[in-house]
Amino acid sequence: MQIRRRPPNPAVNVAYMLYQIAAPDADPQNILEEIVWQKEKEVDQFREKLPLHEVQRQLLNAPARKDFLAALTAVAKPPAVIAEVKKASPSKGVIRADFDPVAIAQSYQQGGAACLSVLTDKKFFQGGFENLKLIRAAVDLPLLCKDFIIYPYQIQWAKLHGADAVLLIAAILSDKDLQYFLKITKKLGMTALVEVHDQAEFDRVLALDGVELLGINNRDLTTFNVDLQTTCELLAARGTQLSERGITVVSESGIHQPEDLLKVAASGANAVLIGESFMKQPDPGIALKQMIQ
């Protein structure tokens, strides 16, 4: 875990101080570090707008969350598809200019998605929590808040906006934070999708308690390089341990053709997370249907 942190507000301690802190005038080493530094500022603004105690007060009336993991494992013909509502990305720029998040989510539901992933990062993905809220009101599927979580506050904020699951990225979190955030997520009645990209991260995550859903991102988030072999090689090396522990595996990113889906499923992935290839099609739900038929 080599991402440095740069908290704008020293009063909000970075948990356990296990992170290397970058000097205020340092430049980010890569896009992931840049995203995390921007996220520090964004979370600070959310906290100013709605302090944690107020988020927690509002959550007292929140409805029970949908079971994201159960929806993935209940699919009759695996792999289950998590379809992503993604307008833009740092690697591709704008993917879909005529972006109607609710219409896309409804189309995905009709097309046979097991769950949805909603990008909520504004600056780098042109997403937002307003999209999550609107989609929650419009579809019945379980929703993943796809963001860069670095504080427990964000997990509660995501729940408040309708998320059933959150993404915890091993590349940006210390082991202690991963373990703590997993606990909080479970306590909130939500699912954590814990994401890894290489064997070192994989082994760190396998040493944690309570991991039920593991994502293997085929995209290197520091270089944008995408390779489906990432899933195949990690599952060849560690798949037995995962199945012994009953951990459900999601292969994420770079899946464009039915053959790609079959390839990661044959290597042992139980589910796939797909964004760009659906979002580039005129009707993302029809593209999904064609992918899984």
**Residues annotated catalytic, as ranges:** 84, 86, 146, 195, 217, 252-253
- 115, containing H or E segment: strand 115-119
- Of positions 39, 86, 159, 161, contacts ligand LARABZUK by CB under 6 A: 86
- Shortest Cβ distance from residue 254 to ligand LARABZUK (Å)? 5
Q: Which is nearer to ligand LARABZUK, 119 or 139 (CB)?
A: 119
**DSSP state string for 122-188:** STTT---HHHHHHHHHH--S-EEEES---SHHHHHHHHHTT-SEEEEEGGGS-HHHHHHHHHHHHHT
Residues 181-240 that bind ligand LARABZUK (CB under 6 A): 217, 219, 221, 224
Contact between 28 and ligand LARABZUK (CB under 6 A)?
A: no
- Of positions 28, 78, 90, 128, contacts ligand LARABZUK by CB under 6 A: 90
Residues 112-141 that bind ligand LARABZUK (CB under 6 A): none
Contact between 281 and ligand LARABZUK (CB under 6 A)?
A: no
**DSSP state string for 171-240:** GGS-HHHHHHHHHHHHHTT-EEEEEE-SHHHHHHHHTSSS--EEEEESB-TTT--B-THHHHHHHHHHHH
Contact between 260 and ligand LARABZUK (CB under 6 A)?
A: no
Which residue ranges make up the site for ligand LARABZUK (CB under 6 A)? 31, 84, 86, 89-91, 217, 219, 221, 224, 252-255, 273-277
